[in-house]
Amino acid sequence: MLRLHLSVNDAIKIIRNHSIVLIGGPHRGGTTILWELISLHRSVSAFGSNIPADFSEGSFLQSVLPTYGVGNEESACFRHRRGVSTAGLGRYALSPYAHQTENSPLNREDVRTLLVSEWGRYWDLERPVLLEKTPTNMVSARLLQALFAPSASFLFISRHPLAVELAERRMSRCRRTDRFGLGSLNWVAAHSILQADLPSLASARVIRYEDLVRSPWSCMSKVADWLGLEGAYGHAAQTSGRLPDADFRRSVLRAAVSNRTNAKYEAEYCGSRLATAARRARHCALGAALQPHVTALGLGYDLLQGGDLGFACIRQRIAAKLVPSAPSNPAVVDCGGQRVEAEQAIADMLQLRTGYRGQPQTHGVDVLGGNRLLCARM
């Protein structure tokens, strides 16, 4: 692993003399486009897109923090025959060892020094803001905050859970053999961990992917204001009519073009995943099991019926195709205005097979969709 050779004091000095911004969010959830947009600011140093790391993720440029099996999904799939390991993309948050806090044995001086030495090899330390992006920062933010105190800030991006799961399944042959829903459960687990940690994070904000691609210029202005970045794509440049540089214009255009990227997943889900009565029943069982947890996050996503943030086709598809079951049947859920039999086996699989038994908590928590949410639609 390439690195600088820093002393303990050198590492501390670098941390104290910079703002360190760490991006997290679900894989295939928008972390790369957010990282790309922020990295274009002249005050920001990022790792770059041509370094030997997947999608320029800091996780692959260091040797001390866990990588959660991300990048090794294919080998894990064949070891476990059907990819049931709680490691890797779309699974990592289901592991009981995923959550890392300031109480972790990794919260040590030597770990901090080595991490700054390894990441510092790729940062331009002449710039005041150092940017890092790893999706799994969702579950390790408290540890990272302790290691980079007092300079760490976090920016998390979320995306509709069905879009995330469908996108992740396209990345691996193994995911196509799994029962659909494990990726959405992982989404719930990671977001629930983050929401529970949010009150412990001194400087953190949340963005929805759907808001970013809907209005990238406005959203990035709010991000810049929060990070204290002046010029380039802040309010001054916007109100004066000055255009940002060509690279930023291209990135904004890319984000704007991505405005309909959920559409292909909506078409796939509503066209294929809801094509038969059995699949619609599985959808309703999945939605009934997970939607209370999704709702508790306050982000406005609706996995069960869809809505303004995506997959509105679900409600129409369910209402048109499902036949009400007998009112006396106790094993029913409400789905799209219809009552249908719930496949309890699916809910059991989601909890028992993975060991995740989290319950939605809506009292006494700083919800992800609360006052830390940037760029929300008005």
Cα separation, 207 vs 212, whole angstroms: 7
Are 292 and 283 spatial neighbours (Cβ–Cβ below 8 Å)?
Answer: no
Q: CATH assignment of 8-260+361-374? A: 3.40.50
Task: Indicate the pLDDT class of residue 179, thresholds 50, 70 and 90.
Answer: confident
Which residues, at least 6 apart from 245, have a Cβ–Cβ distance to it below 8 Å? Answer: 40, 232
Question: Which one has a higher pLDDT value, 231 or 205?
Answer: 205
pLDDT reported for residue 197:
95
Residue-level pLDDT at 281: 84
pLDDT at 76: 52
Instruction: Say which residue, 183 or 342, is predicted with more confidence.
Output: 183
Q: Which residues pair with 133 in a beta bridge?
A: 23
- Top pLDDT among 246 and 81 is at 246
- What average pLDDT does the structure give for the chain? 81
Which of the two residues, 152 and 284, has the higher pLDDT score?
Answer: 152
Cα(22)–Cα(7) distance, integer angstroms:
23
Cα separation, 125 vs 319, in Å, equals 57
- Give the percent of the chain with pLDDT over 90: 50
pLDDT recorded at residue 240: 40
Does the pLDDT of residue 347 top 90, yes or no? no
Question: Would you call 6 helix, strand, or coil by DSSP?
Answer: coil
Task: Please report the pLDDT score of residue 3 as a whole number.
Answer: 81
Between 194 and 378, whose confidence is greater? 194
Q: For residue 146, what are its two tokens?
A: 């302790």
CB 324 within 8 A of CB 338: yes
Interstrand relation of 332-335 and 338-341 (parallel, antiparallel or unpaired) = antiparallel
Structure confidence by residue, pLDDT tens digits, 11-54: 999 999 999 999 999 999 999 999 989 998 989 999 875 565 55
Q: Is the dihedral of CA 121, 123, 124, 125 positive or negative?
A: negative
Q: Is the Cβ–Cβ distance between 275 and 320 less than 8 Å?
A: no
Tokens 């995506």 locate to 310
Query: What is the separation of C-alpha 301 from the centre of its chain, rounded to a whole number of angstroms?
Result: 13
On whether the CB atoms of residues 92 and 68 are closer than 8 A, the answer is: yes
Q: For residue range 193-211, what is the model confidence (pLDDT) as tens digits?
A: 999 999 999 999 999 999 9
Quick one: pLDDT at residue 341?
A: 42
Give the model's pLDDT for residue 326. Answer: 39
Res. 236: pLDDT tops 50: no
Q: What is the per-residue pLDDT across 123-157, written as a single tens digit (0 to 9) for each?
A: 999 999 999 999 999 999 999 999 999 999 999 99
The predicted model gives 184-195 an average pLDDT of 93
Yes or no: say if 38 and 20 are a contact pair by the CB < 8 Å rule.
no
Stated as kind and residue range, the H or E segment containing 341 is strand 338-341
Q: Does the structure show a pLDDT above 80 at 251?
A: no
Among 13-22, 115-124, 351-360, name the one with the lowest average pLDDT.
Answer: 351-360
- Angle formed by the axes of helices 182-197 and 137-147, nearest 10°: 30
CA atoms within 13 A on the CB side of 75: 4
For 12, 307, 311, the CA distances from 135, given in Å and listed in that order, are 25, 25, 23
The dihedral formed by the CA atoms of 358, 363, 364 and 368, expressed in degrees to the nearest 10: 70
What is the band of 108 on the pLDDT scale with cuts at 50, 70, 90?
very high
Higher pLDDT, 180 or 179: 180
pLDDT band at 360, cuts 50/70/90? low
Residue 182: its pLDDT value, please?
Answer: 85
pLDDT at 120 over 60: yes
β-pair type (129-133, 44-45)? parallel
Give me the DSSP letters along 110-179: HHHHHHHHHHHTTS-TTSSEEEEE-TTHHHHHHHHHHHTTTSEEEEEEE--HHHHHHHHHTT-TGGGGSP
Residue 233, pLDDT score: 56
**What length is written for the chain?**
378
Domain boundary assignment for the chain:
8-260+361-374
DSSP state of 298: T
pLDDT tens-digit map of 288-344 = 888 988 999 999 999 999 999 999 999 888 876 654 443 444 344 456 544 444 445
Q: Average the pLDDT over 260-276 and give the result.
A: 91
Confidence of residue 234 (pLDDT cuts 50, 70, 90): very low
Residue 260: what residue type? R
Per the CB < 8 A criterion, the answer to whether 202 and 145 are in contact is: yes
Alpha-helix residue ranges (DSSP H) falling in the chain: 8-16, 31-39, 73-79, 109-120, 137-147, 161-169, 182-197, 209-214, 216-227, 235-240, 246-257, 261-268, 277-296, 313-321, 344-348
pLDDT given for residue 333 in this prediction: 44
